[in-house]
Structure formats: structure tokens, C-alpha cells
Structure 1
Amino acid sequence: MTALGFLYPGHSGEDDYPRIEQLLGSDIRVDLVHTDIGEDAHRVDALLEMGSSARLAAGVEELRHAGADAVVWACTSGSFVHGWDGAHEQVRALAATAGLPASSTSFAFAHAVRELGARRVAIGATYPEDVALLFADFLRAAGLEVLGVRGAGVVTAAEVGTWGEREVRSLARAADHPDAEVLLLPDTALHTAAYIPSLEQELGKPVLTANQVTVWEGLRLADRRVNAPELGALFTREPLVQA
């Protein structure tokens, strides 16, 4: 049994995790611990506090007792808002506290794009534009080319959690760029696990979403590879996009 541990802020899109666990099947267990979100706001100061070491450390012990093999901070904005260097320090501190391999959703996106053999991306973010642009800066620091950024201007994770398929598809279509090899939909508050294959079929390219890449990153840390086409190109055995 491989046990993957996730620190998830608050309660918005966490339903994706049991769905993903079911789609993975086999002997993968997904353990979720909810961290204190503090102020629910896609605003830089609130996001910095939400991803502080003290808030993350509070949930680590429960994951260790559950026997997690790796831990991922399941939050995109609460990691990239610290910048490239700050996000690395956040993960280093988490790994030291947990005594386990650790990462975050922001790094998961960078690693997943490379897994697909891609470099050029477009971003469809639920966030206000200023926060969405910080994610673009993070990806550029990872060596990726960001061709377009679309921010939806949603201020709270609670509102994002109410979005359904119609809103997700609308954002994806609006954000896609004809030259992008991959479309990224950050925000772990957004329910996307049920829509990935149909989005990829419609857009004709891989689509990476926050909860999807977060679980994939946990598997990567645990040195596991799972073939689950229902979770999109990232979870197929062969990358669909070549460098």
C-alpha cells in the first residue's frame, strides 16, 4: 500500500481527492488533512499567511501517524505566492517537519508539464489577475514559456468550490492559446477531476488541473507510476506531447 498525504486548505474542492483515489484503484491510499485557511481571500497577504510554516506544520503529525509515504501542500496560490525561492524554502521546511519527501501543487505543475515533454503553456486561473500573473512568473522561473494568462477574478476559494462543469469549460476555452502545448487550470478549490478527459478531447491537448497534478506529484515522490486514462494524458503511460 502506498499512502499519499496531502495538506489541503479549508473545504472547497476536496471532493476531487476520493474521486481520484477511486480512479487510481490498485493499492494507492489518499489521505487528506485540512489546514486552517485563515482569511479566505485570493490576496497576496492572505495567501502568504495561509501557506506559512506554522499552519502547515499543524497538520503534519496526523499524516505521519497515518503512515504517509510523502506529503504535498495541496495549494497552488499558497505556494507560488512565495516566489520561486520562497516556495522551495516552504517545501524544505515541510519536508524537515514531516520527515518525508515533500512538495507543493505549484511545483507539481512544473514537474507535470516536463513529464508531458512540453514547454509552452496557457493558464486559466480562477484568481484575480494580479495573483494569476504571479503563477505565470513562477512557471517562467521553472523554465516554461507562458503564452497566455486568463484570470477569472474570483476572490474566495469558497466561491470557486461552487463552480461546476459549465464554469470550468468556459474558463478553459477562454484561456486556451493555439500555440500552447498544455493548458493549466490552477486552484485546488476547483472541482475538475470529472472533466479532464472531455476537456482534453475538446481542446486537443493535455489539460493539467490542480488536484490532478497534486496527486500525481505525491505518486512521483513515492516513486509510483499509475496508468489511469480517466485522469487525462498525465496519467497515461506515454506522454502525448513530445519536446
Structure 2
Amino acid sequence: MRSISLESLNSATKYPSILTFHERGPRGTLTETVVEAFEEDVLATEKVDGANARIIAFSNGDYIIGSREHLLYARGDLIANPKDGLVEALRPVADSLWTTGGGGTQALVLYLEVYGGKIGRNAGQYTGQGQVGFRMFDAATVSGEILARTLAEVATWREQHGQQFFTEGELQDLASEEGIELTPRLGTFRASEVPTGIEEMHAFLTSRIPATNVALDSEAGRRPEGLVLRTHDRKVIAKARLADYESTLRVRSGR
């Protein structure tokens, strides 16, 4: 870990933004234009509303915990960045990892959503008692060759979709090996079963996820955030937030 640039590591392991399934239009409402069209089977998973985090693990047992934008803690640090309680929540997971990123400076990156507690305005939908949970939603490997590049080169590589994410099968295997729960899997659908209209997608969301599946206690509000739709090889991925469809339909109805 000492032989690589932490700036390059941070850039290479940042999680890319996921586009909305429908394009955004005026006033933030959605249009009927589908941004990410599916031609293969589509896996629907629950989109958990919390703080995006990552664990970057190396073959020698070193690891770094980061938020979406920043690296917060490295194994052995005396002081951890307290942002959103991410390090406190994920350090036991990182300490127990036995799957490694491979030889040399290759890194295994686990992407997790930490939620509940006081994380975000929707924390109360997951807990009424201040509990904190986490779920893994993606994983990738980053080679030592990439980490040896300059910061500008790494940024270009990432923007050109150079990150090698796990397929659904690989992600399931990793979660099983490490004993880490994934975001809930809500079924696989044929591409033709995924609705392309605003009203139809709203109905799809309310029927497939009427309440969150990751509530941490009985006092949780349980309102869901939405779905992430992806092919099993992850080449096509999009998100559909319930609130976006509700607000769009309210604007259309004049309410």
C-alpha cells in the first residue's frame, strides 16, 4: 500500500454514478425517454438509501475504508475519520476479510451501502432506534498496473468504464465466501417485462417493492427508496427511485 499513490487509488476505486432509467427533464421530473434500454434479462435489486462506502483490500492483509469520495481509514491507523460512522460500521468486516485481491498491488474493492443511524434524511425508514446496517451491492478488482498510473491517466481510464466489476454470479460467490449480505435480490425479469412508461414503471416499483426489505427494527418507517436494474454481467445498469416517479406524476396531474 505504501508503494502506490493514494490519490490514484482513490480515483481508481470510486464508484461510478448510475444513470436514472428515465431521463430527467425540466424541474427535475422524468421524461418518457429511457436512458438505459435493456435487451437481456434484468436483475432487480433494492436500492438502499444510505452512505456509499468502499473497502479496498490488498493481498497482504492491508485495507482502506473510504466513502464515495474520500479515503477515511487504513488498517492500523490510530485515528479514523468519523464521517457518517462508516469506519465504525465497516472495520469489523474489513478486519475479517480472507478473500484477497491477488498478488502484488492488485486490489479487491467491495462497495457497500451503510444505512440507518443518522445517515441521510431517510434513515428513519430503516430504523427507529438508531441502529446502523450495511449491505454490499457491487465489487470490482483493480490491477496494480492501473494503480501505477498518474492521477490523470487513472481518471481517464475510469471515465472510459475501465473498472472491472463482478458479474452477479461472482458477486454472489464473494458475498457467500465473506459472509456479507447483499442488497436484496427481487427477481430476474425478461427485458420486455421492464416497463418503459412513467406510470407503468411507478406501478412496477410499488408492486415489486411495497416496503423496504432491510429494516433494522420494528420502529422503522419501511418506505423503500427504489430499485437498481442491471443485467447479470452488469454491462447495463440503471436506477429507478420511487420518489422521482411520484413527483413526476404529481406534476403531470397538476397537484
TM-score (norm 1): 0.26
Q: Which has the higher strand share?
A: 2
TM-score (norm 2): 0.25
Q: Which has the higher helix share?
A: 1
Greater relative contact order structure (CA < 8 Å, 6+ sep): 2
Q: For the pair shown, which has the larger CA radius of gyration, 1 or 2?
A: 2
